[in-house]
Amino acid sequence: MEVPRQPIVEIKNLNKTYRRGSQVISVLNDITFDIEEGEFLALMGPSGSGKTTLLNLIAGIDKPDSGSVRVGEVEITSLSETELARWRASHVGFIFQFYNLIPVLTAFENVELPLLLTGLSRRERREHVETALYAVNLSDRMDHYPSQLSGGQQQRVAIARAVVADPTILVADEPTGDLDRVSAREILDLMERLVHELGKTIIMVTHDPRAAEKAHMVRNLDKGVLNNVLS
């Protein structure tokens, strides 16, 4: 008999609205669901459905109007800006659509960034960065600047940066959205490996059905409402 896994993320009655002039636009409407540890979740839905807003709330870079988001043991909606920054540094790894690498830093230095917020020594940081870059198969590109790397390689550096501090969850916003088909497949394979081999929990926003196929679970959002689950 399979032992039920603990939810790593618990979302309850989450609401989020935006104000445009005098108009109040509801983006997320009473969202409640859990994400289990080691799960690879894809959030899908049309543009403006609230996927990225939901991802931002889970990652602690935006605040809801009401409701709760618990990640591990931490109720993140009650944290201050400073506490949230500290929490993100150790619990969340980010993978963006446009990689968001710092152009003046080498691949090595980009990956090292999250570790600067830890108490690790220089030698320890170097070991961690080398391991992360090895894991994404970029050991030979450590000293390259982002402009010297292809889109797929840049995204792999971004993944190495996301995992290097061993965060609780990985959030990915359209990670293959800016890549060609081959590079996209490589990135998805890599993310799949992170889940299967390293037990990482990934929450991914995507438009791409091929990307969603890799996920254990697909949740659809439409006009701020979570309406079906595909496993």
By CB under 8 A, name the binding residues for other proteins: 56, 59, 61-62, 82, 85-90, 94, 96-98, 100, 102-105, 109, 112-114, 116-117, 161
Which of 179, 218 has the CB closer to other proteins?
179
Which of 82, 231 has the CB closer to other proteins?
82
Residue 46 beta carbon to other proteins: minimum distance, rounded to whole angstroms? 18
Residue 210 beta carbon to other proteins: minimum distance, rounded to whole angstroms? 22
Distance CA 184, CA 175 (A): 8
> In terms of Cα–Cα distance, which of 203, 200, 160, 153 is closest to 178?
153
The DSSP letter of residue 86 is: H
Which of 6, 150 has the CB closer to other proteins?
150
Residue 6 beta carbon to other proteins: minimum distance, rounded to whole angstroms? 25
Which of 104, 230 has the CB closer to other proteins?
104
Q: What angle do CA 194, 211, 172 make, to 5 degrees?
A: 55
Residue 52 beta carbon to other proteins: minimum distance, rounded to whole angstroms? 9
Residue 14 beta carbon to other proteins: minimum distance, rounded to whole angstroms? 16
> In terms of Cα–Cα distance, which of 188, 170, 191, 190 is closest to 179?
188
Q: Which residue matches tokens 């108009």?
A: 23
Residue 114 beta carbon to other proteins: minimum distance, rounded to whole angstroms? 5
151-163 and 181-198 helices cross at what angle (nearest 10)?
20
> In terms of Cα–Cα distance, which of 74, 94, 102, 91 is closest to 10?
74
Question: Which residues share a beta bridge with 197?
Answer: none
122-135 and 151-163 helices cross at what angle (nearest 10)?
130
Q: Which residue matches tokens 């037990």?
A: 199
Contacts of 116 (CB under 8 A, 6+ apart): 125
Which of 22, 80 has the CB closer to other proteins?
80
Which of 38, 177 has the CB closer to other proteins?
177
Residue 118 beta carbon to other proteins: minimum distance, rounded to whole angstroms? 10
Which of 97, 183 has the CB closer to other proteins?
97
